[in-house]
Chain A
């Protein structure tokens, strides 16, 4: 039997970043000869293990007219293999007291099982089998397609926020990988075929495009041997990704988006760099100071002082390609949206010109520190961050760099990103307003 040389990586310590004593969890990282990456996080808290297989493919890897393919494939992955008939994956996992599911995002797709630790091998065997041996039966496929269309109606079409956001994003990023939401356009789903999904699967589901993550009550050595046993024989594939074109948003475009709603909602889309860009920490800090915190600049002016908004906020969608920031404000009515937009811009200008106070920056850092410490309650949460760093940027320690970036933030950084990414007003603005 091959002797594994375990590369044990000490997890980052937050002592350096924030002067606080925290445990330093460890993990094992190994790359198989076929390119499959393996991460193992040992945690004996409960007798369970979470197995995840992350594929570096998501909705940004879809082509025009074929949107929704990554997500539809995720559904299809539960329809069985040559050895596992339809429904058998769920049946096997639930028979041992486990749970399984999956998720699709812009730049990855992830499958998971949470099973009693004695059943680690079962979970790994299932994932290995469906990595290369998926059976796409046309009848099952088109029935599942109906389920996905139903999911789209439920989660997007009948949700005023999601459907407004989808339309705005679709127009802002038209013709680029971010020009559609993950679930895809209904007309593309209507024309999707099982043959196309099969080719999509064969292109992207390969060991050199995947990461296996195991977190829980396991012996890392034994777990690695099982991964090698089930995935080791697969050969790497040549992955051909579409060209990731980038939208050029110049100037401001305002769209009026009537929906069935009792409140008005303003959305603003801005472009930001890839998720591992050093400016991301400053951009997120700016969003907290400008919008997110209870005592943010916009909350003070528009919520407490003028009573114009119900709530506001902003968040980044950070990916392995340039992403975006979505800024939002809920208002009482459409008639308030122009002045809300103007006032939000004024608050941003003040930040860009006058800067932020040391206290504002301190609050941001406190909030991030708390978030990090609480994340340590469950190793699986941290495991996801490590794996995502590896999958997106080839850097499992990316999260550590982000923490360091947050700890080093200065008031000037906040001013700079305010000017560079937001004050130019190169943006798409959506007014989601009550339908007549």
Chain B
């Protein structure tokens, strides 16, 4: 009660104290006057760094950054999923999980405790063309960080008690993934896109993973580790509050005597699959209160010279932001979806283009139609990307790019990734900026027109099959096939 009275009294005082300020008239003209800006083309300052190669082939990038007492590590092990074959699909994720849980020198609990005492975090990830490493600690724990990271990379324990438990965990996660909308969509989409035999489809092929991971043995994982985690395929990026010389000594101490166990390079398998262009696969998932839609087709690999032009065109078509064409129609105009976006991935030997959204059942067919029509409108030149639309995307990139590279680790990571993994210039980030700034709407339209194929889009729709089929049938779609989520 007292509090209420006090609040009311305060309110009166605030009103009395309120100063008379000339009122701003909010008008469309005011806002137009305040907007309208062409942002400067940014330049990302490449930090002073050192690159050296250990005698065993491991590449190390080091830069000092003394603003905070921290150390951060990023890293790559070349080839990622490309190391796998269909009979051992899933082994990469399984191996990395085991590596990060126990070593020959530290059992599971000892490893966990040591990391916690030193505030050391380590994560590994599997990507189509490489494995990722991420690690961090306070700079006072630099030595512990590199000691533990080296131990996990070099001496993982694959014959401990954890092998069976981890296997059970992975199998359970695959079985669970098969009950979830997005995972189901990805499984059928990537299987159709790359074919069941290509490693790029393995990550989400839960049916396959359930078979292969359950059959893995410690010997197989040990052998796979020798074949893949070898210093001559590793790139480490280390940034933080230290002296370079100190880091060099610590790196040499923990990694210097590690002998390569496999050749530095492999020949990646080519993609030979032809996706089911134009088809619709309906995956029955009971209880879904809406449908999850994934459409797409194959695309070029990361070397394609029109990649940046296509990327810019796709921002206009389906960046997922409110100003992209798909959002304007499907969310703002029609209110069908909460979000919709189109994305592209360009890997070492192939690429993919995809559109994803969740949509209510009575709007599925119209959503598919819209996705196709909006793509076709650009491709056929009916409503090409305008200079204004391109400017908006370029202007956004110019403004926000520095934000993505605001810390030293992000910049040096980009240098190392482009130079060592993608075979580009170490200054690629700035070349990329120059490249998108030099594009014209004509070029962007031409590249999109050449490589976006509305007629090839195939779709995976997950949800209640009866409702999906009803909407497809009502709208004249006959080229669908229904499968149950249990296959």
Contacts and interface: CB of A to CB of B under 8 A. Distances in A.
B175 A262 contact: yes
A83 interface: yes
Contact of A45 (B17, B24, B36, B406): B406
A98 to B, nearest CB: 7
A172 B180 CA distance: 27
B329 interface: no
Contacts of B37: 95-97, 116, 118-119
A22 B66 CA distance: 11
Interface stretch (B46-54, B250-258, B332-340): B332-340
Q: Range of interface residues on chain B?
A: 35 or more
Contact of B402 (A48, A78, A86, A87): A48
A83 B30 contact: yes
Which of A78, A97, A143, A235 has most B Cβ within 10 Å?
A97
A422 B287 CA distance: 35
Nearest to A115: B399
Nearest to A82: B26
Interface stretch (B164-172, B225-233, B268-276): B164-172
Contact of B403 (A95, A114, A160, A363): A114
Nearest to B31: A92
A260 B34 contact: no
B399 A294 contact: no
Contacts of A235: 15, 18
Majority SS at the chain A contact face: mixed
A262 B169 CA distance: 12
A84 B68 contact: no
A232 B22 CA distance: 9
B267 interface: no
A46 B176 contact: no
A86 B137 CA distance: 47
Interface in A23-41: 23, 33-35
Contact of A125 (B15, B26, B323): B26
Contact of A158 (B70, B119, B290): B290
A20 interface: yes
A62 to B, nearest CB: 20
Contacts of A143: 335
A20 B178 CA distance: 48
Given A33-B17, A295-B109, A373-B69, A208 B360 contact: no
A362 B117 contact: yes
Given A96-B399, A116-B399, A304-B108, A310 B322 contact: no
Report the interface size class on chain A.
35 or more
Interface stretch (A148-156, A189-197, A266-274, A382-390): A148-156
B414 interface: no
Interface in A80-131: 81-88, 90-92, 94-99, 114-116, 118-119, 121-122, 125-126, 128-129
A168 B15 CA distance: 44
B302 to A, nearest CB: 26
B370 interface: no
Interface in A50-95: 78, 81-88, 90-92, 94-95
Given A48-B402, A99-B400, A374-B136, A87 B177 contact: no
Interface in B70-101: 70
A153 B360 contact: yes
B39 interface: yes
Given A262-B172, A310-B169, A367-B119, A92 B179 contact: no
Interface stretch (B390-398, B431-439, B442-450): B390-398
A369 interface: yes
Given A2-B19, A157-B290, A158-B292, 7 more contacts: A48-B403, A94-B323, A154-B338, A260-B285, A261-B176, A293-B116, A435-B287
24 contacts: A33-B18, A48-B402, A48-B403, A83-B30, A83-B31, A87-B332, A96-B36, A96-B37, A96-B395, A114-B400, A114-B403, A122-B34, A122-B35, A133-B26, A146-B335, A147-B331, A148-B338, A157-B290, A158-B287, A232-B21, A299-B112, A363-B113, A369-B119, A373-B68
Interface of B: 8, 11, 14-15, 17-24, 26-28, 30-31, 34-37, 39-40, 67-70, 108-109, 112-113, 115-119, 136-138, 165, 168-169, 172-173, 175-181, 285-290, 292, 321-323, 328, 331-332, 335-338, 358-360, 392, 395-400, 402-403, 406-407
Interface of A: 2, 20-23, 33-35, 45-48, 78, 81-88, 90-92, 94-99, 114-116, 118-119, 121-122, 125-126, 128-129, 133, 143-144, 146-148, 150-151, 153-155, 157-158, 160, 208, 228-230, 232-233, 235-236, 238, 259-263, 293-295, 299-300, 304, 307, 310, 332, 359, 362-363, 366-367, 369-370, 373-374, 376-378, 434-435
Counting from the closest, the 7 A-B pairs by CB-CB distance are: A97-B399, A262-B176, A294-B112, A143-B335, A122-B34, A46-B402, A90-B322
